[in-house]
């Protein structure tokens, strides 16, 4: 799927910040259109490919834009800290680990159907690389597990707050939310499901059906309502994921380089060799988490045990953009 001429013109004629504004807005618009459970798997794949046109631009001719990604697109961690400082009397954050823009329609539709007031829908940047621990540290936590059983401590950026981090059924999560005015609740779904189905054929199909079940369930929305009652609530994620099962295979020297460099992953820490390839297939980036070499664009390669069909940590839009949904009841 090719980019529309007017979109391509805006990506190449303006500043890097302008280009990223167009890219993020376009990705959110494509991903957030209403979904129906009956055709969700095929429609999500169609949208994934449509966003793939932006990924292909970013890897084939616009790769230099990735150097400005961290500065041009506000990180979710910074956005949360800025939002937390707003003068709301009570507030809550629900981090759904690994949630991507693909799942945004279920949240939008569910919020509308259940009478929530919608304040903002957008997307922000994951940390680079897009991994759980990097996001936790960017918020001032040692790790995701630190939040469990109100163990967040007094050094993180979302003070004061009751904290929790679990992988429990939504109904049980509802029972954990007490009357404390401020909450940070980090749930391990859908990342836990992503890793469960990443080796099972085209894992995106299975995950899409599970997301439809989970995010349309009464238990999920009762939990959301408990968090949102008397509080302004943001639902977001630490990172998204790449549906690598649908990526084309990297062949020849490119495939050999990617296998040697990244094995079954999408990034490696430290200053690495990006290879002689033009356009590049990997990029060296420096972030607040240090130097990393990240796989660029939409490619998979042969690796021992088979390359996963769902993963994260590299440079493609649906793994580095996190949805932002701000609601109240």
Backbone angles phi, psi at 269, to 5 degrees: -80, 155
Q: Are β-strands 290-295 and 282-287 bridged in parallel, bridged antiparallel, or unpaired?
A: antiparallel
- Is residue 279 within 8 A of residue 56, CB to CB? The reply is no
Residue 179: inside a domain: yes
Residue 200 has what pLDDT? 60
pTM, rounded to two decimals:
0.97
Distances (CA, A) of 167 to 188, 190, 192: 5, 10, 8
Residue 22: inside a domain: no
3-state secondary structure of 315: strand
Q: What's residue 202's pLDDT?
A: 67
Radius of gyration of the chain (CA): 19
Distances (CA, A) of 35 to 45, 108, 197, 198, 290: 12, 10, 22, 23, 39
What pLDDT is recorded for position 121? 98
Asked whether residue 101 is assigned to any structural domain, the reply reads yes
Other CB atoms within 10 A of residue 84 CB: 18
Please give the Cα distance from 322 to 316 (Å, whole number): 12
Classify residue 180: in a domain, yes or no: yes
Q: What are phi and psi of 166, to 5 degrees?
A: -145, 170
Q: What are phi and psi of 298, to 5 degrees?
A: -110, 90
Is residue 247 in a domain? no
- The answer to whether position 170 is within a domain reads yes
Q: Which residues contact 46 (CB under 8 A, 6 or more apart)?
A: none
- Could you give the number of structural domains in the chain? 1
Place of tokens 């590049």: 280
Domain limits at 202?
76-242+318-328
Match 């790790």 to its residue by tokens: 143
Omega prior to 3 cis, within 30 of 0 = no
pLDDT in tens, the chain (329 residues): 678 777 888 888 889 999 999 999 999 999 999 999 999 999 999 999 999 999 999 999 999 999 999 999 999 999 999 999 999 999 999 999 999 999 999 999 999 999 999 999 999 999 999 999 999 999 999 999 999 999 999 999 999 999 999 999 999 999 999 999 999 999 999 999 999 998 766 699 999 999 999 999 999 999 999 999 999 999 999 999 999 999 999 999 999 999 999 999 999 999 888 999 999 999 999 999 999 999 999 999 998 888 999 999 999 999 999 999 999 99
Tell me: cis bond preceding 190? Omega within 30 of 0 counts: yes
How far, in Å, CA of 150 to CA of 163, rounded? 4
């Amino acid at each position: 799927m090719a980019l529309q001429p007017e979109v391509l013109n805006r990506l190449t004629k303006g500043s890097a910040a302008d280009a990223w504004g167009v890219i993020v807005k376009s990705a959110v618009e494509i991903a957030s259109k209403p979904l129906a459970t009956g055709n969700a798997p095929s429609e999500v794949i169609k949208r994934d490919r449509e966003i793939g046109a932006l990924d292909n631009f970013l890897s084939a001719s616009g790769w230099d834009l990735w150097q400005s990604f961290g500065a041009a697109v506000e990180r979710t961690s910074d956005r949360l800290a800025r939002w937390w400082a707003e003068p709301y009397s009570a507030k809550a954050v629900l981090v759904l680990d690994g949630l991507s823009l693909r799942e945004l329609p279920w949240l939008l539709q569910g919020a509308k159907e259940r009478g929530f007031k919608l304040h903002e829908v957008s997307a922000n940047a994951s940390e680079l690389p897009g991994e759980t621990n990097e996001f936790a540290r960017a918020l001032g936590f040692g790790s995701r597990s630190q939040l469990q059983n109100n163990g967040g401590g007094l050094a993180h950026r979302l003070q004061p707050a009751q904290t929790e981090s679990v992988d429990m059924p939504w109904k049980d999560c509802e029972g954990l939310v007490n009357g404390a005015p401020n909450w940070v609740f980090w749930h391990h779904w859908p990342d836990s499901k992503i890793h469960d189905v990443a080796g099972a054929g085209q894992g995106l199909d299975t995950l899409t059906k599970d997301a439809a079940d989970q995010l349309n369930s009464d238990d999920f929305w009762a939990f959301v309502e408990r968090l949102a009652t008397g509080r302004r609530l943001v639902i977001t994620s630490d990172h998204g994921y790449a549906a690598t099962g649908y990526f084309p295979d990297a062949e020849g020297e490119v495939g050999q380089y990617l296998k040697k460099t990244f094995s079954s992953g999408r990034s490696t820490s430290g200053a690495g060799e990006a290879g002689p390839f033009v356009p590049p297939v990997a990029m060296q980036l420096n972030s607040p988490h240090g130097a990393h070499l990240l796989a660029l664009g939409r490619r998979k390669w042969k690796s021992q045990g088979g390359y996963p069909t769902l993963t994260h940590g590299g440079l493609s839009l649906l793994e580095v953009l996190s949805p932002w949904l701000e609601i109240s009841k």
